[in-house]
Amino acid sequence: MGHKFKLGTRIHAPCIVPLVIESDSLSVVHMVKSYEECLAAEGAFVEGERRLLANHESSAVRHIPRHANRAAHHVAHFSLRDQGVSRLMDEKYKFEEEKAYFQEVDAFELLEEREEVVGG
């Protein structure tokens, strides 16, 4: 869970750019949105995300369906790998798996569905 947010949580200066954190884990969304201290194992992660959100004038935390999140992850990973920035992404996904995924599903259809779900 923490790998995807490590770079983002290092931003501590106030920011005027809107920030949207999306997760396919409803429990994570509830933990981040809650005002109570997070005593779960993910407590440090949750507190880091809360600090990140507090530094933005406009921010939101949204739950999205797992399949929509997966499609967005594949598109981001594929484009970063194409730019030679693959070290920033999880290494468990290999380039050939990305190509196979795009051949199996209509990723753009999934992304359009994701946009409808989150209202983008």
On average, the pLDDT of the chain sits at 69
- Residue indicated by tokens 């109570």: 36
Closest of 49, 25, 108 to residue 74, by C-alpha: 108
Beta strands in the chain (DSSP E): 19-23, 59-63
pTM for the structure as a whole: 0.47
Would the pLDDT of 56 be above 50?
yes
Q: What is the pLDDT of residue 9?
A: 43
Q: What is the pLDDT of residue 5?
A: 45
The torsion angles phi and psi of 48, rounded to 5 degrees, stand at -65, -40
Kindly state the average pLDDT of the residues 36-40: 85
Q: What is the pLDDT of residue 62?
A: 87
